Copies of this chain bind each other. A is one copy, B any other.
Amino acid sequence: MQTASDHSQLESEAFCPHYHKAVELIGRRWTGAILRALLSGVDRFSDLTETVPGLSDRMLSERLEELEAEGIVHRNVKPEIPVRIEYQLTARGYALGAVIQAVSQWAEEWLAQAPGHSHHPTATSPSSDH
């Protein structure tokens, strides 16, 4: 049984526009995979398309531009011959490491199981070290 004010408080915690923007940005098609690759140190355009299966040059360009516009990726043009372009995470982008890590852990624990094994034995799982 909820009062009207409980209810509106619940809703204000339940929705946050910054969270909403963040989760949809990170989860946009290919963006999550690109961020993980950048965090792992892959920094050149061709290495990024090689790393992420199915990622086309066009989609990678589009996603990198979006991430630049959001201040998450910095495009670094090195004046070598031929010109070398590197994509690096900004401080804001690097801070996404905690998110990538949390998603990776969840995926490892809940998706990397035998197929059909949808009920995870939480109570008996050996959550020993780390």
Contacts and interface: CB of A to CB of B under 8 A. Distances in A.
Contacts of A27: 23-28, 31-32
A113 B84 CA distance: 33
Contacts of A31: 23, 27
Interface string A96-126: 1011111111111111100000111010000
A59 interface: no
Contact of A104 (B19, B90, B106): B19
Give the number of copies in the complex.
2
Contacts of A99: 99, 102-103, 106
Nearest to A48: B14
A22 interface: yes
A98 B33 CA distance: 19
Interface of A: 10-11, 13-16, 18-29, 31-33, 36-37, 40-42, 47, 50-53, 71, 90-92, 95-96, 98-112, 118-120, 122
7 contacts: A14-B40, A14-B51, A27-B28, A92-B110, A95-B120, A96-B106, A98-B105
